Structure 1
Amino acid sequence: MPESKRDMRHSSVEDRTDWAKVDAHVIQPEEYDDAPDLSDVAPETGDFHIGDRLVRPRMGRPPLAGRTEEVTLHLDADVIARYRASGPGWQSRMNAALREALDRDATS
């Protein structure tokens, strides 16, 4: 692989951006339709209001209804492989299967 391609593969998008071209761009009238409507944003603070109410963005994942606990658990490799192969959400499905087994044991 040529050195320049190797460098690009490891450089960030920031490093590859032609900022002179970005700065020189003049927005054309047809591009205004693509721009977001910022009429509800106070430009001096960046605050967003709906009516008189200040709306704050939520950061991160939404809180879960029940608390979970991170643990280190040793399981057979084939069990992990089968759950991972089922795609995203495999840990939640594994948790559901464990809960189902607990409920089944409690009723027997």
Structure 2
Amino acid sequence: MTKAKFTKADMDAVSDSPELTAKDIAAARPFAEVFPEMAAKMRSTRGPQKTPTKVSTTIRLSPEVIAHFKAGGAGWQARIDAALKEWVATH
């Protein structure tokens, strides 16, 4: 993947936004105030679990363990959880 290189001329050709003045800045309002519905959609989260099945915690693991599970891509934390469950079941 090559990084695009834009010249000042390129930027000037597509930039039609004037510099903001002190008056413009003083009149600015927060995005959420100007577009409340759009802002609400953007900040929506999953919300609380209906039946929590996991507990949030902090654990320190060796870099090799983290690298191994992250190498498998997305879901690496769930794979660590599954490996620990398997270990608990056999011990």
TM-score normalised per structure 2 = 0.46
Larger Rg: 1
- Which structure has the higher relative contact order (CA within 8 Å, separation 6+)? 2
Q: By percentage of residues, which structure has more helix?
A: 2
TM-score normalised per structure 1 = 0.40
Q: By percentage of residues, which structure has more strand?
A: 1
